[in-house]
Structure 1
């Protein structure tokens, strides 16, 4: 099982009423939630570990997980409200306004973490949950507690604007990256993580030197690059798509890569550290294909396996 650890929230997506008034429609979302949904739809055994409210939006999130085959036994439930993210689309790209104070997802504490069962073989971390305290500290504790024998995949999705103390954010994130086996970053993420290095590949190799065996770098319409533990690089082009919006594109890419590696028995700590270039290239191509379907739809709506 792949256990996705991080935020589940409601994306308020702009729309119009029948009489033309501006409105927002609540869609289940959050980077880690989207990745879990995509993995479930791709047929992988998946669960979500997140703080989820007992309010009406929490019920919506819970139902969406079940509908996509994602297990919910690791949800930490409370009567605090659900995080809301109001989305504004500009030329198909999403900008967000978050309402996240004192929410069920943000306020989870280490003492509330459930026991991770032995059938969980991989942990995935990412999203704003790595920046917002106190949940960021809780996820760091989870990684330290349960990541030693399991494959650890991270998408830091750098959001310094969410961190009240950037120095604390950077220190916590660097410690988590050092424990990861595979990390996916954008070129903007790399520039923030390793500002002292110039150039995408030098930055990727420098990140790899911190601990991850595999570093994936996404470049939007220009595709993605993978750097393996031996220093080899592989590259895939982006799949052609008519872009409706980019909401959930990176999250779905992550799921596609992990799904293909998991299908091949390669989503383990040992296998990732000995991964062959051909196997990584196939996984990257699968991620690109899955993401291309998502960007051709409104909102984060990953494909099912039978759509591929």
Structure 2
């Protein structure tokens, strides 16, 4: 399986009650959780690892994973609360207020980490789960145990959520040093003070620089290629990047390129279909409300 490691949470999405009052609807989400869901819906062998509470919201998360064919048998199930993210939308762009103290995901420890056996063929990390300790340190330790499995990281940096920038930078730098695939936005690179070329020079095999409506720039040692975005009527952008990550990984898996050796030897031409699948899947997600990735037959 492709094991997606990191946060699951409940997105509290803005709605209006029948009486015309502002309200919020609970919807399963979280960047890494969304990627696992999208992978499962695209027919790839998807796994999820993170702390899933036994509370009401945790049961919602477990049900959503099961419904999309995601293996979550490696997850610890503590009684701590589930992380909540209250979402507001401005011109379709999502902004978040997180409630994450003492939660099932944040309090993940190294004792909770799974043994990486033959079922796990690749790992994905990202999102806010890489920010807050002790969970972030535990995930970094799991990344260090990846062995010869390919690792993808999407830092998806949210500056307002970071309380200890120095610690976060050091943790992320160590994980990026181990990464084979990295997806970054302009905002991510500005905060990190890096470029795709510098990431490649540091040992990353494939960098995906997202450029919004322009598409995605795929960068390797051999050069770069711009894969155009798919036209879509945008309802909101919740889960779009997460769906792209899943499409990319699913495309690499389908093409037999999801190994460190295959990635290093692949040409840009061989990698482009996977990038295009990510773009196509993301275009469907932005066309509907919330993080609702497409199923394989929708593509």
The answer for the alignment partner of 1:16 in structure 2 is 16
Gaps of 5+ in 1: 196-202
Output the TM-score relative to the length of structure 1: 0.95
The answer for the alignment partner of 1:123 in structure 2 is 123
Aligned-residue offset at 1:162: 2.5
- From 235, 244, 256, the equivalent of 2:247 is 256
- From 216, 236, 240, the equivalent of 2:231 is 240
Deviations 1:160-194 (A, max 9, x none): 33333211110110010000001000111111112
Distance (Å, rounded) in 1 between the aligned partners of 2:162 and 2:96: 16
- From 269, 272, 282, the equivalent of 1:278 is 269
Runs of 4+ in structure 1 deviating by more than 3 angstroms, as ranges, are none
Note the 1:1-308 alignment, pairs <5 A: 1-145=1-145, 147-194=146-193, 203-230=195-222, 232-308=223-299
Aligned-residue offset at 1:283: 1.1
Distance (Å, rounded) in 1 between the aligned partners of 2:244 and 2:68: 17
Contact 1:160–1:169 (8 Å) recurs in 2: no
Contact 1:11–1:26 (8 Å) recurs in 2: yes
Look up the SS of the partner of 2:190 in the other structure. helix
Look up the SS of the partner of 2:73 in the other structure. coil
Aligned-residue offset at 1:26: 0.3
Aligned-residue offset at 1:272: 1.2
Count of aligned pairs: 299
Stretch moving more, 12-21 or 57-66: 12-21
Distance (Å, rounded) in 2 between the aligned partners of 1:274 and 1:2: 20
Distance (Å, rounded) in 1 between the aligned partners of 2:44 and 2:293: 14
Distance (Å, rounded) in 2 between the aligned partners of 1:167 and 1:278: 38
Distance (Å, rounded) in 1 between the aligned partners of 2:70 and 2:210: 26
Deviations 1:97-151 (A, max 9, x none): 0000000000000011121221211000001001111111000000112x12101
Aligned-residue offset at 1:222: 1.2
Output the TM-score relative to the length of structure 2: 0.98
Distance (Å, rounded) in 1 between the aligned partners of 2:229 and 2:297: 21
Gaps of 5+ in 2: none
Deviations 1:242-291 (A, max 9, x none): 00000000000010111011001101111111121112211111111000
Aligned-residue offset at 1:74: 1.3
Stretch moving more, 158-167 or 110-119: 158-167
Deviations 1:24-80 (A, max 9, x none): 000000000000000000001111000110000000000000000000111111000
Aligned-residue offset at 1:208: 1.4
Instruction: Give the root-mean-square deviation of aligned CA atoms.
Output: 0.9
Stretch moving more, 119-128 or 14-23: 14-23
